[in-house]
């Protein structure tokens, strides 16, 4: 071998070694970056969990404090101010609980209670402002205070466990029962809307989606979550008992933690939630609603129409319902939550749909929409009238729904389409119809 050949060979070896070293360094950096990103994602989820839990505690604490003031107050003017603070805190607590990456079915009782406390405060304000008899409200204040104090103590204990470093946020929640705590707790209050008409129906759950359906396996439930929700790394964490058995599934969607409940009979998705932050609100109501309708169809609920829309902090919640023979089927509601940057699915709650959806035999309307308008108070301005089936006192009523306004406030008036009798009046507290 000549001297020049040796030189070339040495140079080639050196270059090869240098390239391999570069590749090794690049791989090491790449792996380190991925590890750092994964850790950052975990830290983000953990911080979001802690923020939601602490915000829940603070807001419930404010509720408890103001309810204590309300019990001691003997001035209508002061009561209005205090009740307004209670209403605000209840809404903030409900929103914070909704940010916890927990299956919505688990916190349904707690959020219902918080919403009802807010509605109680709003109704009390209205009664005070109108000079109406407030005895029923005053008699409930102590009951509401005691229940709120119990919730506050439970959340405080969970926060204490996290602060001591004994548990993660979710472990502390489970240990204290902070989410499941409320169960069927409820406070009676006048008819008010806080999440769309009939979004919180208390009709007995029959779980019609399970009728005639065969049981599915855990593997089938996981496959459903993967195909319809785009979940990955799925794990079945449990099977609920009761009228409807639900597979509880944890996994990831778009790199964020996700949770789903799938019915054992038939495999219908009853609920799902995807954690993670939201970006810029770029979608308007029309486009966000269109995304929600598309998600509902992809999840297997069929063709649904929007009946309620509410946007907050980069997300929108759209209530959807089937329509049969021109009548909105309110007992069959599906709630879809989308983020407002790209319209990605953030959550679904379809318990009402799973329990009540079916083809109904509707009676013949014995009055026209124009006739229904005449059954509405002349003090109200009627914007629109449409047929609807609504839940009422454990049954269903075939009605005309009149969307109305008066003095800048929104109302829904329901008139029996067969008898012409007014069966319900709801006042809109927050949010808007589509």
Answer yes or no: do 92 and 176 share one domain. Answer: yes
The terminus-to-terminus CA distance of the chain in angstroms comes to 85
Q: Are residues 56 and 179 in the same domain?
A: yes
Determine the 3-state secondary structure of 150 from DSSP.
helix
Q: Is 2 inside any structural domain?
A: no
Range of the domain at 215: 208-356
Same domain? For 386 and 285 the reply is no
Same domain, residue pair 239 and 311: yes
Decide if 278 contacts 340 (C-beta within 8 A). Answer: yes
The answer on 347 and 374 residing in a single domain is no
87 shares its domain with 154 = yes
Q: Is residue 99 part of a domain?
A: yes
On whether the CB atoms of residues 341 and 282 are closer than 8 A, the answer is yes
Are the C-beta atoms of residues 156 and 181 closer than 8 Å to each other? Answer: no
204: nearest Cα among 411, 32, 394: 394
How many structural domains does the chain have? 3
* Same domain (yes/no): 123, 165: yes
Rg (CA), the chain: 27
Domain boundary among 164, 190, 216: 190
Residue 146, in any domain of the structure = yes
Long-range CB pairs of 110-114 (<8 Å, 24+ gap) are 110/151, 110/178, 110/179, 110/181, 110/182, 112/182, 112/186, 112/200, 113/147, 113/151, 113/182, 113/185, 113/186, 113/187, 114/60, 114/90
Asked whether residue 161 falls in the same domain as residue 223, the answer is: no
Q: How far is CA 65 from CA 71, 82, 145, 301, in A?
A: 10, 10, 9, 43
Q: Are 154 and 215 members of one domain? A: no
Q: Is the separation of the CB atoms in 320 and 334 below 8 Å?
A: yes
Give the distance from CA 315 to its chain's centroid: 11
Question: Is 418 buried (19+), middle (13-18) or exposed (0-12) by CB count in 10 A?
Answer: middle
Q: Of 238, 88, 113, nearest to 181 (Cα)? A: 113
- Cα angle 332, 117, 199; round to 5: 10
Bridge partner residues of 323 (DSSP): 328
Q: Judge if 96 and 221 occupy the same domain.
A: no
Q: Which two tokens stand for residue 153?
A: 């103590």
Tens of pLDDT, residue by residue, the chain (434 residues): 565 555 556 555 655 655 565 656 556 556 555 555 555 555 565 666 777 778 888 889 898 888 888 887 877 888 888 888 898 888 888 888 777 766 666 667 777 788 888 888 888 887 787 777 777 777 778 888 888 888 888 878 777 766 665 555 556 555 545 455 443 433 333 334 445 677 665 545 678 888 888 999 999 999 999 999 999 999 998 888 767 788 999 999 988 888 899 999 999 999 898 887 667 778 899 999 999 999 999 999 999 999 989 887 788 889 999 999 999 999 999 999 999 999 999 989 898 899 889 999 999 999 999 999 999 888 889 999 999 999 887 789 999 999 998 878 788 999 999 999 888 888 776 544 44
Residues 88 and 141 placed together within one structural domain of the fold: yes
- Whether residues 243 and 221 fall in one domain: yes
Q: Is residue 63 part of a domain?
A: yes
**Which tokens is 355 given?**
């329990």
Domain membership of residue 164 (yes or no) is yes
**Whole-model pTM over 0.75:** no
Strands (E), 299-408: 305-312, 315-321, 323-324, 327-329, 334-339, 345-349, 381-392, 395-406
How many whole angstroms separate alpha carbon 133 and alpha carbon 148? Answer: 24
Give the position of tokens 């058995």: 245
Could you say which of 309, 330, 356 is where a domain stops?
Answer: 356
- How do strand 256-263 and strand 345-349 relate by DSSP bridges? unpaired
Strand order in the sheet with 192-193: 192-193, 422-428, 409-416, 395-406, 381-392, 327-329, 323-324
């Amino acid at each position: 071998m000549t001297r020049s050949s040796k030189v070339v060979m040495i140079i080639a070896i050196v270059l090869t070694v240098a390239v391999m070293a570069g590749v090794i360094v690049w791989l090491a950096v790449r792996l380190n970056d991925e590890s750092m990103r994964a850790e950052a994602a975990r830290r983000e989820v953990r911080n979001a969990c802690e923020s939601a839990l602490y915000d829940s505690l603070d807001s419930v604490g404010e509720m408890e404090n103001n309810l204590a003031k309300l019990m001691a107050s003997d001035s209508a003017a002061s009561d209005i101010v205090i009740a307004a603070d209670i209403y605000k805190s209840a809404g903030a607590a409900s929103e914070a609980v909704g940010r916890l990456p927990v299956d919505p079915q688990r916190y349904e009782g707690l959020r219902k209670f918080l919403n009802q406390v807010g509605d109680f405060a709003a109704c009390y304000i209205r009664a005070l402002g109108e000079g109406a008899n407030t005895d029923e409200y005053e008699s409930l204040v102590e009951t509401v205070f005691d229940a709120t104090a119990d919730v506050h103590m439970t959340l405080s204990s969970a926060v204490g466990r996290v602060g001591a470093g004994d548990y993660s946020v979710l472990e502390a929640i489970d240990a204290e029962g902070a989410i499941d705590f409320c169960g069927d707790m409820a406070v009676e209050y006048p008819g008010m809307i806080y999440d769309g008409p009939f979004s919180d129906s208390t009709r007995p759950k029959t779980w019609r989606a399970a009728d005639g359906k065969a049981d599915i396996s855990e593997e089938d439930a996981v496959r459903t979550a993967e195909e319809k929700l785009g979940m990955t790394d799925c794990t079945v964490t449990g099977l609920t008992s009761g009228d409807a058995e639900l597979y509880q599934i944890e996994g990831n969607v778009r790199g964020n933690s996700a949770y789903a409940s799938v019915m054992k009979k038939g495999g219908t998705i009853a609920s799902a939630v995807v954690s993670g932050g939201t970006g810029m609100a770029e979608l308007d109501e029309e486009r966000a609603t269109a995304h929600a309708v598309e998600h509902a169809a992809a999840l297997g609920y069929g063709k649904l129409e929007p009946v309620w829309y509410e946007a907050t902090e980069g997300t929108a919640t759209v209530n959807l319902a089937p329509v049969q023979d021109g009548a909105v089927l309110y007992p069959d509601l599906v709630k879809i939550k989308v983020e407002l940057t790209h319209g990605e699915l953030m959550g679904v709650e379809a318990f009402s749909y799973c329990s009540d959806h079916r083809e109904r035999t509707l009676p013949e309307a014995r009055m026209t929409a124009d006739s229904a308008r005449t059954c509405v108070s002349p003090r109200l301005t009627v914007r629109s009238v449409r047929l609807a089936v609504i839940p009422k006192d454990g049954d269903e009523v075939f009605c005309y729904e009149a969307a109305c306004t008066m003095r800048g406030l929104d109302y829904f008036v329901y008139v029996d389409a067969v008898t012409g009798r007014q069966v319900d009046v709801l006042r809109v507290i927050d949010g808007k119809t589509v």
